[in-house]
Amino acid sequence: MSYRCPAGHQQRLATDSGRGRQAHRGALLERIRAELSVQAGREVPILVSSGFRCTTLNAAIGSSATSDHVRALALDFRAPAFGSPLAICQALQPGLERLGIGQIIFEHTWVHVSTRAPASPVNRVLTLAGKNYLPGIVA
Ligand SMILES: [Zn+2]
């Protein structure tokens, strides 16, 4: 299966390695949806704004070449029925291990999660601050 990204590049979704990662990421998304729904006491839909990105699209939007999006490991999402991206980060942070979240970044208008835990534990929970990141969830 393939589709074209907004920049017109062919995206391959069904490479052998990609298929496993898609499934892995999909399972992460379902765990997050279930967790937020339990905490809210009602069904909370997840709105994904970005998943896998080809290297050209990734560069075009100014993202790092080492982004987990290029490796099909990351998702950006919102869940307005639960609350703000800040509220989502605060709700998920205590359960990172249980939920299989390797990294979470509060990006202000959305939440970034990756199945890959960064080499340095301090980078596991971050807040975007300009072009840099601060450790932890910083309101
Ligand atoms: Zn992201």
Per-residue pLDDT tens, the chain, 139 aa: give them.
455 665 566 554 434 455 677 777 788 999 999 999 999 999 999 999 988 888 999 999 888 888 999 988 999 999 999 999 999 999 999 999 999 999 999 999 999 999 999 999 999 999 999 989 999 999 9
* Nearest-angstrom CA–CA distance, 102 and 126: 12
The type of residue at 81 is A
* Structure-derived torsion over alpha carbons of residues 118, 9, 59, 99, reported in degrees to the nearest 10: -20
User: How far, in Å, is the centroid of ligand 1 from the Cα of 106?
Assistant: 10
Report the pLDDT value the prediction gives residue 30, as an integer from 0 to 100. Answer: 94
CA 97 to centroid of chain Cα atoms: 15
Eight-class DSSP state of 136? S
User: What count of other Cβ atoms lies within 10 Å of the Cβ of residue 94?
Assistant: 9
Distance 45 CA to ligand 1 centre (A): 18
Helix (H, G, I), strand (E, B) or coil at 103: strand
CATH number for the domain harbouring residue 53: 3.30.1380.10
Rounded-to-integer distance, Cα 130 and Cα 84, Å: 19
- Is residue 104 within 8 A of residue 125, CB to CB? The reply is yes
CA-based torsion, 125, 59, 71, 49: positive or negative? positive
Residue-range definition of the domain harbouring residue 118: 2-135
Determine the distance separating the centroid of ligand 1 and the alpha carbon of 138, expressed in angstroms.
Answer: 17
Alpha carbon distance 108, 127 (integer Å): 8
- Ligand 1 centre to CA of 70 (Å) is 10
Backbone φ and ψ for 49, nearest 5 degrees, come out as -105, -20
Cα(41) to ligand 1 centroid in Å equals: 27
What local confidence, expressed as pLDDT, does residue 131 receive? 87
How many domains in the chain?
1
**Which residue is listed with tokens 């390695």?**
17
